[in-house]
Amino acid sequence: MPGLSARCALTRVPAQCRAWSRQLWGPQVLQHRPQCAGSAEAPATGTTTHEATAALQERLTNSDGATTSAAAPDSSDSAPPPKFLTRPGLRDARGALMLKNLTFCELESWCELVGERRQRARQLWRWLYADGALIHDISEATGVANGFSSAFLELFRQAHASIDGGMRLERVHRAADNTRKMVFRLTEGEGAGAAVEAVLIPIVRSGGARPRTTLCVSSQVGCGMNCQFCFTGRLGLCAQLSAAQIVEQMVEARRLVAEEAAVGAPDALAPVTNVVYMGMGEPLHNFDAVLASAAIATHELGLHFSANKVSVSTVGLVPQLRALVASSRCQLAVSLHATTDEVRNWLVPVNRRYPLAELLGALRELFPRSGGRFVLFEYVMLAGVNDSEEDAARFVALANDIECKVNLIIFNTHAGTRFKPSSADQVQRFRSALIQAGRVCTVRDSRGDDEMAACGQLGDVGAMGARAPVLRVPPRFQNALLAAAQG
């Protein structure tokens, strides 16, 4: 699985201790840590705790109590680190390892490599992600029931680790329909200083169904896919988010909902049960971070989202969507938005790289009819562009042998757009054609559009500037866009 360790357990190879420790402890504190047992190097001057020394000594001790000789060849210093340590963005600007970048299995491995028992990972994980915990700083979990000892706290500091999420919640905008747009300021990584947004969407169903809340998270600052109707796409790609920064959006959302419930706010949101990777960015263009964050989100001991309630959207990066389906049980959503290559090349330019035949061919292999899993097709309804009865008929034909559901999206207008949403009657006619063909088809309501929190509206073009080019309109659609501009 790209970017993630294949197993929870790491083989204990004493010859690799020094090389891995350099990765884990970081250059700033390496001179202060104890040396590997039996090393020919003289112990470095500096201070460390007795507990840290004993823990690392225990790391190199066999089960029979004998200390393992580390008289390893010099080549041990170049031994490859565990795979998860090679992912970009694991450390903050000070060189501290940000533990929210790690999956549970990787956290177990980290605990072993710094001299702790693997069971310590469970305790850390619960404090980071479990309901009622969600700590901001490791010190919050010391001196309390089921908390950490002062000895572990010192070891944690010596190991140069951090539980920071690499962003801070700056403000929350509340729309008329109670949708909340959370605006974060990045404090770490290549996008430090930039803003990124996530959205809490209250879902109230008729018939007495229990209300719930869906969280829409971002995976990038801006987006490099340049979909012509998308406000976020106007930014271009500004920065990738780390797994920790994606996870922190979920953690802060849970904190916000819990705080509102605790004070009995009259418009408090229901618990967050669903997560959609449909905010800023193309999730599969940031594959390793998204895959790691999804694994963290769905682990049963922490945030415990059900995998079938976590949806990862893509415009159609075929190799990455194949890898996602092979690596995760999360729901795949594909932004189709057109039924011909001519139109999709314009609306979704990545179609020039992965045309409809290649994209749909992959989906036929991965989601055959009656195969169990299904793909969710997303389709934004644009007046006079992709909403005709002929488009509906082509959609049915294209998806004929793919196990799928369809979500029609009402286009959310924004400043500078050339497009207009389809009429309610046209949306219903399109939906009826799909339903009559035996497809499950729903219409996604526009939520939070008065606060620019709706689908396709995230980002701040005014602050960051439009970077993506506006593509040439195919001649036969020019009249439709002219009518949209006049209407």
Active-site residue set: 197, 455
Residues 120/111, Cβ–Cβ less than 8 Å: yes
Token digits for 243? 């797994």
Q: How many CB atoms lie within 10 A of CB 253?
A: 24
Burial of 363 (0-12, 13-18, 19+ CB in 10 A): buried
What letter represents residue 180's amino acid?
R
How many CA atoms, within 13 angstroms, populate the side-chain half-sphere of residue 38?
14
Helices (H) and strands (E) in the chain, counts: 15, 14
Cα-based angle 166, 454, 444 (whole degrees, multiple of 5)? 125
The string over 186-221, giving b where at least 16 C-beta atoms fall within 10 Å of a residue's C-beta and e elsewhere, is bbbbebeebbbbbbbbbbeeeeeeeebbbbbbbbbb
d(CA 221, CA 245): 11
Closest CA to 349 of 218, 229, 240: 229
What letter does residue 447 receive in the DSSP assignment?
-
d(CA 160, CA 96): 5
Residue 322, SS3? helix
d(CA 187, CA 154): 25
Beta pairing class for 237-240 and 272-277: unpaired
